[in-house]
Structure 1
């Protein structure tokens, strides 16, 4: 749409909204209509700026928190949605904490593609690392069989010609970059040879020493560790790499010496501080790009005001978007967000190592808050000035209130929502799903996932029952949100919101059988080949009590501090396998699930710190699939 046409379009929208007594978003606004009173008319008012280009959004994508693990899994789900064509239909992406890493990757690449004039769809391209399958230092037999079959795996244009994942023109550089920068605190790329990769322990030790020194001497109040966290997020997930060049043979040694260069970096030569150029990756630039790209999704980043609370308080969910920022407790503003950089917003949304991340009133929270007065190394949050009559407040990790980023999409009345849950949940207690369910129920909305048997009991009787996330029977589960009845009319305020729930879990037995039989991505064993290979390389890394592999429920802090290329591939493919099962039915204007049936996921006895079940010794044993209720 030409600039002049867009101007008059926005004028008409604002005039119509103003006539409906809906304030124009050019400064502080009143609170939104309570979610229980939502109607199509209130949505048009509350979200008028977002709906100017898309008056009737159909699909939302919620990306949960969970540090690097959540970022990798969310990235994989987005890749699967791209494979199925559904990503093109997404109207709004809502993210919190680690899910924001993947969203930042997507938006910065799309903005750079538009700025430079290349097809953004290249960013999902990758080759299949067949060289990794037959690593001589690993088990022979099944891996050797897999190596013969894996090159024919579906969805892969070709096998990688080398371990650098390099071909003329460097078409795989975006995925190769993620594979070489899995550690956001790492100052240099890892070497991808199939061998074990060391973590950034020297860098972390140096950060700890520097943080202690600045705390003791009080030389500065700048949050060194928080700033390095942000720089790492921007380097790994935000930067757009230019094609690499090799002057000689392309091998591991040449890959190690590769000098990465970028089109949107800040020009800082220091490895620890190289990050995004704020003038290219900011809210105003994103808003302008959205105005020029009507089929692109908008982005809502979720943070939190104040300390973590035991009771649900959706009013403390703080939204940052290209159009409006704020919360019910602080009110909303249509002015430019005070911190313009997109990387800063992701840092705020994922500021997990902050005193506000501890429950209010606890001794630990009070101690860390006193410590934060001495050094900002204990304060990763960012301060906001209150409106007239309001005290300043801090914004930090949104996962402390709502770790699925689902509430913000339900509130927008989007009828089809894909909810990606990559939170740490080894025991399968569904804490984050239960919390958003409780937050919605407070206002009369009911969240249901029929395949999760006894979900209400699991949520209400915390510590008694749970689900086995390593015997997970459905890559995707269908659900719904039921809206309340208007007492004046006797009718529901809104039609049901359809939920497509993707949980970080897998059926380990399926991969076990595929590996033992040396088959994958066929009718008998439809599981991912690359993930089957990962299984084969890591079968000894198990929980001694329940015998299941620790993957995929690896700890948030541990994986954020020390990830690997192989974990990137594994999480990406696990998410991709789920995401590609969802497609868009244009005629019915709804999402369709490729599975012919959904199995009931049975709640079992909760075992603290372990799976709700024990891995059977018999490889043929598998949880029976009983149809889930509709």
Structure 2
């Protein structure tokens, strides 16, 4: 009896000592890093400009490639003028393309940034194009020999690799991908096979591993499509299987030792990017990758409504620092996060912890993803929680592994940053889907936003989230709230109030869900101009004694489809008009041919074309060279206009904003006059 009692006392004492030890390990170690640290020496730029490439999978990447193409080919060296490029999800695919080519091609004096974007117009459109198209200097009409030119290899390779979950090239414009069903079935079988070990690792225990086959394939596909450096045009041959031609003849950086061919990670790290920027005299913009690192990481979080706080839950990764407002600094090298890992984490739109989906669908989807090994997020240790807690967390099964957080809470560690032993990194679209807030926090004077996010109804929800967060978080340190003004959108301020409850700390709204807002096929302006200011004025003019904090250039895959069709397409004669191939309107030749071909196939000019807002998920899973080219050229067209607007004087810029206010993009059902010019 005494021995039993003595044993209980020993157990109690041991438990008490362990608890004291673990409690001591819970001391916050948060290292706060100021946003400006992300820029390195570029923080000292007198006038800072930034480009935000929003998320949206392959569709976002295609549009963003056009944006970057314009910067790279600009005669006034606009790429060097950019202080930073901030990306989320699919925008990061395109940024990975740019930086991987710059880093790997740095020792080749024959290559310039513009060379990575050279391409030809597909010969499949030849019968629809005017004679002028065959003589375009920057983008000639493809034929068998032209397409095989090595100078077009970079863009031809990306065209043929549009299905990122497959391993072959498909540059054909005449046939559908017959292997798609087979590959999808094989992936489904692999996913089912991984579900049992995944259940043990991720549900019975809460281990920071990712056993998702689809996630592994997704990561490899992003790296292969956008990260490989092709050396010859043979890399984009019809039906070329990357695994079979993965050698030093066809690629500079293909990893032949991998089970399936993929991009080599060597020298594709954040420290390597920093060295590259320094060695090239900092003449290229700093790349900031934006993921979400929210405070919730469990099924308890899945059941709650996801709320945004751009200043807290955005994890910003750059060559100089990685930080979030909630968790402080993160050591990317220590956690083994390279450039491809960063892009994959920021593009993990399929994950149980996503907050962008509303309830109750979110709870049902989260449970399914968690059980069937389809989580795509990344776990890293929370350095605000001691390693002893993580050992305890790893050794205890469900539901006991939730007790470590409870114990920390009871011991007084009640801040959000000590809630979990690990930090879940996932799609940046669960917080700031643009990546624009990173540019605001780093005090950019000019901010270009490429809104690639899926939005076929024109709701502009993410633009409203940004507008509301700017007002709520005081990013410019003013005693007054800052305001994001977009006068070219009718009733923008009042409209965005209906999204205010999405921001953390705001009360629920009684407003009904808005299904339609600004129709994307009746868009008056190629680029919407605006500004951020915190001085109370509601225009974008420089008043005496005041200034605007930043100019805004907002671009979106939108068109005035009626005007475009009337001006550039002759449907009765099955022909693209010569004006579409005028060099003053870059990109409209292929874009117009794409729209015309679709109309001809559907037999009526009144049919509703899915472009320019194809499904983000479906285009990511099964894209094709035609759509890639159309979105890319639309982005090129819009960014060309934005660059012109960015070079206006303060007075001319303010006048143009005022003109857009007089003739705004109107909401569905508007009764305002339609006779704007």
Q: TM-score, normalised by structure 2?
A: 0.73
- Aligned partners of 2:133, 2:192: CA distance in 1, in Å? 49
Correspondence for 2:337: 340
Between 1:88-97 and 1:387-396, the stretch displaced more is 387-396
Do residues 530 (structure 1) and 567 (structure 2) align? no
- Aligned partners of 1:558, 1:29: CA distance in 2, in Å? 41
Structure 1 residues 331, 546: CA separation in 2 closer, same or farther (over 3 Å shift)? farther
Report the secondary structure of 2:233's partner residue: coil
Q: Deviation of residue 206 (structure 1)?
A: 0.8
Correspondence for 1:483: 534
Q: Deviation of residue 418 (structure 1)?
A: 0.6
Q: Which ranges of structure 2 fall in alignment gaps of 5 or more residues?
A: 1-28, 202-209, 297-301, 386-417, 474-480, 499-512, 537-543
What is the aligned counterpart of 2:378 among 378, 382, 398? 382
Between 1:354-363 and 1:310-319, the stretch displaced more is 354-363
- Asked if 2 retains the 8 angstrom alpha-carbon contact of 1:63 and 1:93, the reply is yes
Structure 1 residues 498, 166: CA separation in 2 closer, same or farther (over 3 Å shift)? same
Do residues 186 (structure 1) and 240 (structure 2) align? no
Correspondence for 2:48: 58
- Aligned partners of 1:355, 1:223: CA distance in 2, in Å? 12
Number of equivalenced pairs:
551
Correspondence for 1:40: none
Cα-to-partner distance string for 1:241-281 (whole Å, 9 max, x where unaligned)? 111359xxx996899999463212222354xx322222121
Structure 1 residues 544, 550: CA separation in 2 closer, same or farther (over 3 Å shift)? farther
What is the aligned counterpart of 1:602 among 665, 674, 677? 665
- Asked if 2 retains the 8 angstrom alpha-carbon contact of 1:74 and 1:575, the reply is yes
Report the secondary structure of 2:426's partner residue: strand
- Aligned partners of 2:656, 2:641: CA distance in 1, in Å? 7
- Aligned partners of 1:257, 1:212: CA distance in 2, in Å? 25
Report the secondary structure of 2:100's partner residue: helix
Cα-to-partner distance string for 1:124-181 (whole Å, 9 max, x where unaligned)? 443433622235xxxxxxx2xx24231234643x3334277112xx111001101110
Structure 1 residues 287, 435: CA separation in 2 closer, same or farther (over 3 Å shift)? same
Once the two structures are superposed, the pairs formed by residues 326-405 of structure 1 within 5 Å of their partners are: 326-333=323-330, 336=333, 338-358=335-355, 362-367=359-364, 369-370=366-367, 374=371, 377-389=373-385, 390=418, 391-405=421-435
Structure 1 residues 123, 370: CA separation in 2 closer, same or farther (over 3 Å shift)? same
Report the secondary structure of 2:551's partner residue: strand
Structure 1 residues 574, 398: CA separation in 2 closer, same or farther (over 3 Å shift)? same
Correspondence for 2:23: none
- Asked if 2 retains the 8 angstrom alpha-carbon contact of 1:484 and 1:492, the reply is no
Once the two structures are superposed, the pairs formed by residues 140-159 of structure 1 within 5 Å of their partners are: 143=128, 146-153=129-136, 155-156=138-139, 158-159=140-141
- Asked if 2 retains the 8 angstrom alpha-carbon contact of 1:109 and 1:120, the reply is no
Do residues 565 (structure 1) and 657 (structure 2) align? no
Cα-to-partner distance string for 1:3-62 (whole Å, 9 max, x where unaligned)? xxxxxxxxxxxxxxxxxxxxxxxx952264xxxxxxxxxxxxx42462425512521000
- Asked if 2 retains the 8 angstrom alpha-carbon contact of 1:59 and 1:89, the reply is yes
- Asked if 2 retains the 8 angstrom alpha-carbon contact of 1:94 and 1:302, the reply is yes
- Aligned partners of 1:412, 1:543: CA distance in 2, in Å? 51
Once the two structures are superposed, the pairs formed by residues 132-171 of structure 1 within 5 Å of their partners are: 132-134=124-126, 143=128, 146-153=129-136, 155-156=138-139, 158-162=140-144, 165-167=147-149, 170-171=150-151
Do residues 298 (structure 1) and 286 (structure 2) align? yes
- Asked if 2 retains the 8 angstrom alpha-carbon contact of 1:59 and 1:91, the reply is yes
Structure with larger Rg = 2
Between 1:351-360 and 1:567-576, the stretch displaced more is 351-360
Q: Deviation of residue 297 (structure 1)?
A: 0.8
Report the secondary structure of 1:447's partner residue: strand
Structure 1 residues 362, 521: CA separation in 2 closer, same or farther (over 3 Å shift)? closer
Q: Which ranges of structure 1 fall in alignment gaps of 5 or more residues?
A: 1-26, 33-45, 136-142, 486-490, 607-611, 614-621
- Asked if 1 retains the 8 angstrom alpha-carbon contact of 2:92 and 2:289, the reply is yes
- Aligned partners of 1:430, 1:371: CA distance in 2, in Å? 29
Do residues 515 (structure 1) and 569 (structure 2) align? yes
